[in-house]
């Protein structure tokens, strides 16, 4: 069935791809043309159902996906003004993420591909975050340095080509988004923690002394967030024990700077080491206004071109899966109908 489609993929530059994403608490579907142009980008989130538990409950997320997936897909096709017959392929996130949640998207995409005789393109969620920067940016081409900062991953990557990456540095323990979510809990802020810490930090001062991690260590491109998180927990705990009042806004502001300044420093020095003049970024944490602003300042002084996806394309969405799906499609990377979901994937 697939063989005929495979033969002509290289010529299908304007391929229309339906992308499906269900790796965490967002059920999303998008139609993307030529890997860069978003025709539709629909999303339904079960986030509010997880708030009282302080984090995503996998079973609740999976059930929400099952009710949302066909609605979201239909909406994506309708908004794009296309039908299944117009598509070149269906791309789906197969990992990394919550297994039960991923399975909903993978099973749905497989059924659609089979029923409509379309090739199925397997997409890594991590690569999707990196590919988000291609959307609406026709001039962006590798090589460039990419900062990946999400709830599950933190890395600085040298993107050599559309399909080849080299890890320049990465976290040795927690991801930066994970640290935001954990610190938010300590400050009694709701899940997801990142946006709430950012809001609180606006009225705070960077007055709390926190570990600098590998900041200033020019030879080390790695990150570590576990000690920073523990330092915040210890600070608030010690203040509470000793009856010393503290301003949560100051803690949020100090933490945000400690967590993000090091990302900016390592990203721009990676560009120097790799002699590239272009930087991009992706992942939920890149929606953070302070990080975006600091990256812009650092790139401007070094005459580096910076490509940041708009905020809704930093957090989980299906358009980014369409962007990466297109790259995989053009390289002839297709999945058979025994494609399975994977909780973790290699970069
Ligand atoms: O990329 P994403 O939507 O999902 C993963 O693939 O993990 O990232 C979610 C993470 C969460 O940890 C969330 O707290 C964080 O991104 N995040 C932020 C902001 N918005 C989302 N962190 C800091 N500032 C934000 N504005
Ligand atoms: Zn993500």
For residue 83, give the CATH number of its domain.
3.30.420.40
C-alpha atoms less than 13 angstroms from C-alpha of 144 in its C-beta half-sphere: 23
Are 18 and 110 in a shared domain?
yes
Within a domain: 20:
yes
Distance separating alpha carbons of residues 105 and 116, to the nearest angstrom: 16
Ligand 1 atom closest to the CA of 289, numbered from 1 = 26
Give distance in angstroms: CA of 285 to centre of ligand 2.
Answer: 10
Q: Mean per-residue pLDDT for 302-322?
A: 98
Q: Whose CA is nearest to atom 16 of ligand 1?
A: 284
Give distance in angstroms: CA of 290 to centre of ligand 2.
Answer: 19
Residue 1, pLDDT > 80, answer no
Residue 347, pLDDT > 80, answer no
Q: Whose CA is nearest to atom 7 of ligand 1?
A: 151
Within a domain: 340:
no
Within a domain: 341:
no
- Does 315 sit in the ligand 1 pocket, CB within 6 Å? yes
pLDDT digits (tens, 9 = 90+) for 18-32: 999 999 999 999 999
Give distance in angstroms: CA of 285 to centre of ligand 1.
Answer: 4
Residue 5, pLDDT > 50, answer no
Within a domain: 339:
no
Longest dimension (CA), the chain: 72
Ligand 1 atom closest to the CA of 26, numbered from 1 = 3
Are 227 and 277 in a shared domain?
yes
Are 53 and 17 in a shared domain?
yes
pLDDT of residue 307: 97
pLDDT digits (tens, 9 = 90+) for 194-235: 999 999 999 999 999 998 888 888 888 999 999 999 999 999
Are 209 and 325 in a shared domain?
no
Are 250 and 149 in a shared domain?
yes
Give distance in angstroms: CA of 337 to centre of ligand 1.
Answer: 32
189 DSSP 8-state letter: P
Q: Mean per-residue pLDDT for 277-304?
A: 98
Distance separating alpha carbons of residues 33 and 31, to the nearest angstrom: 7
Handedness of CA 23, 28, 31, 36 (dihedral sign): negative
Q: Which ligand is nearest to the CA of 152?
A: 1
Q: Mean per-residue pLDDT for 294-315?
A: 98
pLDDT of residue 7: 41
pLDDT digits (tens, 9 = 90+) for 52-107: 888 889 999 999 999 999 999 999 999 999 999 999 999 999 999 999 999 999 99
Q: Structure pTM?
A: 0.94
- Does 151 sit in the ligand 1 pocket, CB within 6 Å? yes
Domain that holds residue 59: 2-131+315-330
Within a domain: 338:
no
pLDDT digits (tens, 9 = 90+) for 237-267: 999 999 999 999 999 999 999 999 999 999 9
Give distance in angstroms: CA of 315 to centre of ligand 2.
Answer: 6
Distance separating alpha carbons of residues 188 and 55, to the nearest angstrom: 13
Q: Which ligand is nearest to the CA of 225?
A: 1
Are 246 and 215 in a shared domain?
yes
pLDDT digits (tens, 9 = 90+) for 164-197: 999 999 999 999 999 999 999 999 999 889 999 9
DSSP class per residue in 286-341: GG-HHHHHHHHHHHHHTT-EEE---GGGTSS-SHHHHHHHHHHHHTT--B-TT---
Are 324 and 297 in a shared domain?
no
Residues with CB under 5 A from ligand 2 (ion): 150, 316
Within a domain: 294:
yes
Ligand 1 pocket test, pick from 315, 318, 321 with the greatest ligand atom count within 8 Å of Cβ, gives 315
Residue 10, pLDDT > 70, answer no
Are 238 and 273 in a shared domain?
yes
And the tokens for 18?
A: 């339906």
Are 83 and 177 in a shared domain?
no
Are 48 and 170 in a shared domain?
no
Q: Which ligand is nearest to the CA of 285?
A: 1
Ligand 1 pocket test, pick from 284, 308, 309, 345 with the greatest ligand atom count within 8 Å of Cβ, gives 284
Within a domain: 289:
yes
Q: To the nearest whole number, what is the mean pLDDT of the chain?
A: 94
Are 120 and 227 in a shared domain?
no
Ligand 1 atom closest to the CA of 129, numbered from 1 = 1
143 DSSP 8-state letter: S
Residue 4, pLDDT > 50, answer no
Are 157 and 199 in a shared domain?
yes
Within a domain: 344:
no
Count of structural domains within the chain: 2
Residue 325, pLDDT > 60, answer yes
- For the chain, give the percent of residues with pLDDT over 90: 88
Ligand 1 atom closest to the CA of 151, numbered from 1 = 7
pLDDT digits (tens, 9 = 90+) for 103-151: 999 999 999 999 999 999 999 999 999 999 999 898 999 999 999 999 9
């Amino acid at each position: 069935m697939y063989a005929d489609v495979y033969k002509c993929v290289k010529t299908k530059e304007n391929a229309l791809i339906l992308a499906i994403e269900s790796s965490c608490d967002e059920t999303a579907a998008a139609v993307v043309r030529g890997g860069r142009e978003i025709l539709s980008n629909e999303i339904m989130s079960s986030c509010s159902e997880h708030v009282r538990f302080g984090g995503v409950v996998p079973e609740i997320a999976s059930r929400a996906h099952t009710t949302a997936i066909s609605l979201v897909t239909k909406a994506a096709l309708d908004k794009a003004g296309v039908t299944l017959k117009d598509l070149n392929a269906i791309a789906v996130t197969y990992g990394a993420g919550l297994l039960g949640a991923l399975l909903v998207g993978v099973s749905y995409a497989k059924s659609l591909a089979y029923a409509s005789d379309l090739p199925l393109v397997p997409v890594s969620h991590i690569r999707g975050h990196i590919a988000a920067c291609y959307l609406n940016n026709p001039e962006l081409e590798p090589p460039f340095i990419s900062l990946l900062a999400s709830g599950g991953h933190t890395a600085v990557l040298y993107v050599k080509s559309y399909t080849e990456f080299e890890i320049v540095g990465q976290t040795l323990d927690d991801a930066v988004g994970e640290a935001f979510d954990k610190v938010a809990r300590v400050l009694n802020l709701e899940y997801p923690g990142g946006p709430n810490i950012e809001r609180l930090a606006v009225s705070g001062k960077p007055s709390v002394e926190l570990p600098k991690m590998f900041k200033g260590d020019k030879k080390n491109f790695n990150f570590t967030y576990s000690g920073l998180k523990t330092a915040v927990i210890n600070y608030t705990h010690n203040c509470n024990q000793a009856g010393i009042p503290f301003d949560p806004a100051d803690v949020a502001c100090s933490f945000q700077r400690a967590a993000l300044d090091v990302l900016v420093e390592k990203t721009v020095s990676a560009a120097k080491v790799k002699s590239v003049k272009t930087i991009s970024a992706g992942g939920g944490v890149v929606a953070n206004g302070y990080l975006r602003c600091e990256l812009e300042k650092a790139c401007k002084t070094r005459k580096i071109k910076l490509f940041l996806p708009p905020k809704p394309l930093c957090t989980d969405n299906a358009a980014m899966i369409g962007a990466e799906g297109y790259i995989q499609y053009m390289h002839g990377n297709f999945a058979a109908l025994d494609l399975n979901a994977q909780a973790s994937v290699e970069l």
